Structure formats: C-alpha cells, structure tokens
C-alpha cells in the first residue's frame, strides 16, 4: 500500500529538469482522453479516405465506451469510498473526475 499524499500545489513555473514535478505528467485517464482526441481528429481529417475515417469513428466509439464503463466507474467508486490518494500526476480522484467533465477545448 502506498503512503497517502495530500494535494499540494507546486508554486512557480514548471522546471522540466525536476522529474518529480507531477505537472509534467498526465494521469492514465487524461492520457486516454488525449489519445481519444487524436483518434477523433483522424476521423475528422478530410485527407483520410472515407472508409478509414469511418474506422477511426468506430475505434473512437468503442474506446470511449470502455473508458466510461471502466475508468470513470472506477473513479466514481474511489470518490464514493473517500479515497484521497494522489495519482502520479498529483490529482485526487475527484480532481480527475472534474477534468473529465470539463468541456474540451477546440
């Protein structure tokens, strides 16, 4: 069992040499959403053949369904259980859920 950490904001600019700074990393949920964004961009790219775009939409749909059924459900369970342990990117389950709910930027 890992030691419980508390969320402490790190002041100042990000130092890329300080590899312990959690602001340098994306957690697995945010990383998965970023990947899904890139898959969706491929589906929207008119330079791709139509059938390839449809395949990307299928991948996006399948992966996003799995994401909500497994990962978001897991975060909800952690929140309901009162888990306050930080992920590797320095966020609590509640903070991760808030980021997932945030509207995407264009």
pLDDT at 51 over 50: yes
Q: What is the pTM of this model?
A: 0.71
pLDDT of residue 71: 94
How confident is the model at residue 1, as a pLDDT?
41
Residue 105 has pLDDT above 90, yes or no: no
Mean pLDDT of 16-26: 71
- State percent of the chain over pLDDT 70: 81
- pLDDT computed for residue 106 by the predictor: 55
pLDDT at 26 exceeding the cut of 80 = no
DSSP reduced 3-state for 32: helix
| Alpha carbon distance 19, 42 (integer Å) | 32
- Structure token pair of residue 55: 């395949």
């Amino acid at each position: 069992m890992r030691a419980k950490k508390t969320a402490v904001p790190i002041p100042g600019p990000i130092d890329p040499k300080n590899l312990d700074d959690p602001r340098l990393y994306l957690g697995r949920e945010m990383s998965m959403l970023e990947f899904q964004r890139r898959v969706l961009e491929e589906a929207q790219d008119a330079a791709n053949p139509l059938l390839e775009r449809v395949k990307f939409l299928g991948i996006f749909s399948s992966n996003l369904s799995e994401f909500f059924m497994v990962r978001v459900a897991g975060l909800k369970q952690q929140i309901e259980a009162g888990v306050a342990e930080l992920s590797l990117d320095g966020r609590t389950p509640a903070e991760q859920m808030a980021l997932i709910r945030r509207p995407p930027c264009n």
